[in-house]
A and B are shown apart, each in its own frame.
Chain A
């Protein structure tokens, strides 16, 4: 048996196949993309212990991820905030973890997207489980998982063929995504859920920007808009009392130790914004949250400089608009001397 020749041939063929696949993907306009998954989140969460009372942690859902640009913030305040927002998630599990499992007493921004914030406290419900999964991973991750993640980063940053996301976008490049894209016809007769393609890029500190295509290609942005509207099918009654009580308990504990709590309502537009204001009337949800928590609160509609934006897919700001939003919001925060924790 000529094992060495067989091994060499197998390696050469594998390499050729990988190079061909990479070249094909690049020719289709695909670029390397970092997987903003629980590993990356956990790496950022691990930095909390080294933060001081002058630092800022961002929590919330995807709007905080897209709309608050970390590098812009750093240029304006000389400090880079820590991004711990989790897309499609309730912010409550992450805030709870920060309050209960750390002694951080700086500033925590909690992004409020009412449909997620007031959704549930049931651990198995998706908005809760998505965030809790990240928190649990941080506390339980093994050294092997850390090693795998560290080794995967150079590949993620340099190869389009490993552009795979925890969200399992149908336009990922792994086998599962390729199979998802095969249309086999609608046998159930139910209206199919529209394809939900990746519309953002994250870097290794989780600074997230809407993709250029989403911001400029109205047909593509329309595909995301259809997803938001289709999500209305899964509407559940909000658990306002339970979520409010859960959050307020943590908020009280955090502010009692000198922490600075800031609530932020990011912009939304079009029919989605209309649906949100009908489903979650401001006076019943946002205003009550602000009054009961006693936190500094910033609703985009209250500021001319924050309400000048049109979200391309109705829910998030484009990269350039997010820069402006961050810049305008930081200047408001500075004006209000809002970034100073009591514990300082």
Chain B
């Protein structure tokens, strides 16, 4: 979806509306942003949402591990994994 398109204008307005609506808790706002991110990406090419899921999964696991891991070498390894996966996607597709 292009940022200068009508579709994005409507999409952005709706997400903004949902984000500021008091009905959502902070956690649900984050969930909503995650889902709308998938939707944003999927509107271009649905099968490629898989990439976003992989990125989400790797970063989620990395974040959790970094929060508890004390061993510096292991911490670096988790960080490296996350960077390689995310930059790898970028390098491959861009």
Determine whether A151 belongs to the interface, using a CB cutoff of 8 Å to chain B: yes
Contact present for A151 and B6 (CB under 8 Å): yes
Q: Is B46 an interface residue (CB 8 A)?
A: yes
The distance in angstroms between the C-alpha atoms of A155 and B1, with both chains bound, is 19
Q: Mark A276-302 against chain B: 1 for CB-CB distance below 8 A, else 0.
A: 000000000000000000000000000
Interchain CB contact (< 8 A) of A151 among B2, B7, B46 = B7
Per DSSP, are chain B's interface residues mostly helix, strand or loop, or mixed? loop
Q: How many angstroms from the CA of A155 to the CA of B5 in the assembled complex?
A: 13
Q: Is the CB of A152 within 8 A of B6?
A: yes
Question: Which residues of B from 1 to 52 have beta carbons under 8 Å from A?
Answer: 1-2, 5-7, 10, 42-46
A155 → chain B, closest Cβ, in Å? Answer: 8
Type the 1/0 row for A42-76, where 1 means its CB is closer than 8 Å to any CB of B: 00000000000000000000000000000000000
Per DSSP, are chain A's interface residues mostly helix, strand or loop, or mixed? helix
Q: Measured between C-beta atoms, what is the minimum distance from B13 to chain A in Å?
A: 12
Closest Cβ neighbor of B42 among chain A residues: A143
A181-212 vs B, CB cutoff 8 Å, 1 = contact: the mask equals: 00000000000000000000000000000000
Residue of A nearest to B46 (CB): A143
What chain B residues lie within 8 Å of A144 (beta carbons)? 1-2, 5, 7, 43-44
Residue of A nearest to B40 (CB): A144
Query: Contact mask A121-165 → B, CB, 8 Å, 1/0?
Result: 000000000000000000000111001100110010000000000
Nearest A-chain residue to B45, judged by Cβ: A142
Q: Are A142 and B6 in contact (CB under 8 A)?
A: no
Task: Enumerate chain A residues within 8 angstroms of B46, measured Cβ to Cβ.
Answer: 143
A147 to B46, CA, bound (A): 14
> Could you say which residues of chain A place their CB within 8 Å of the CB of B6?
148, 151-152, 155
Q: Kindly state the separation between the CA atoms of A148 and B3 in the bound complex, as whole angstroms.
A: 11
CB distance from A264 to the nearest CB of B (A): 38
Complex: how many Å from CA A155 to CA B6? 10
CA A151 – CA B12 in complex, angstroms?
14
Give min CB distance, A154 to chain B, whole Å.
10
Minimum CB distance partner of A142 in chain B: B44
Contact (Cβ within 8 A) B44 A143: yes
Are A151 and B43 within 8 A (Cβ)? no
Residues from chain B with a CB closer than 8 A to the CB of A152 are 6
Q: Cβ of B43: which chain A residues have Cβ within 8 Å of it?
A: 142-144, 147
Show 22 residue pairs from A and B whose CB-CB distance is below 8 angstroms, ordered by the A residue: A142-B43, A142-B45, A143-B42, A143-B43, A143-B44, A143-B46, A144-B1, A144-B2, A144-B7, A147-B1, A147-B7, A147-B10, A147-B43, A148-B1, A148-B2, A148-B6, A148-B7, A151-B6, A151-B7, A151-B10, A152-B6, A155-B6
Q: Can you list the 6 inter-chain pairs with the closest CB atoms, starting with the nearest?
A: A144-B1, A144-B43, A151-B6, A147-B7, A148-B7, A143-B43
Beyond contacts A143-B42, A148-B5: 20 other A-B pairs, Cβ-Cβ < 8 A, are A142-B43, A142-B44, A142-B45, A143-B43, A143-B44, A143-B46, A144-B1, A144-B2, A144-B5, A144-B7, A144-B43, A144-B44, A147-B1, A147-B7, A147-B10, A148-B2, A148-B6, A148-B7, A151-B6, A152-B6
